[in-house]
Amino acid sequence: MTSRATARKMKRSFTLTPEVVAFVSETRQKRAAGSDSEALDILLREAMLEAKRQQIDAAYQNYYDTVSEEELAQQEEWAKLVGPAILAEMETGEAQP
């Protein structure tokens, strides 16, 4: 870990159940983390990413639950027109006119 990353961290104290402490220690060993604090940081960052993913999924779900059939049809038509060009660009690595 860089000293810059360390400088941004805050020292905190938490009381955890023995099961959670054991899980953090197991995670430290499995992930080759330098400390239980680093392992806990990894676990919490993963939880944060999962929460953000769920938030994005919920936003997509909400959009598609409320979008009109007409708008969905327009999006499908656009995808049919633009899709092949995007695929060609991805395959060649070049922008298509």
The per-residue pLDDT string of the chain (97 residues; one tens digit each, 9 = 90 and over) reads 555 666 788 999 999 999 999 999 999 999 999 999 999 999 999 999 999 999 999 999 999 899 999 999 998 898 888 877 777 777 776 654 5
Whether 38 maps to a domain, the answer reads yes
Whether 10 maps to a domain, the answer reads no
pLDDT in the model for residue 4: 62
Whether 37 maps to a domain, the answer reads yes
Q: pTM above 0.85?
A: no
CA dihedral for 31, 35, 41, 47, sign (positive or negative): positive
For 26, the domain range is 15-66
pLDDT in the model for residue 78: 87
Whether residues 31 and 19 fall in one domain: yes
Terminal-to-terminal C-alpha distance of the chain: 45
Whether residues 87 and 61 fall in one domain: no
CA dihedral 65, 67, 70, 72 (to 10 degrees): -70
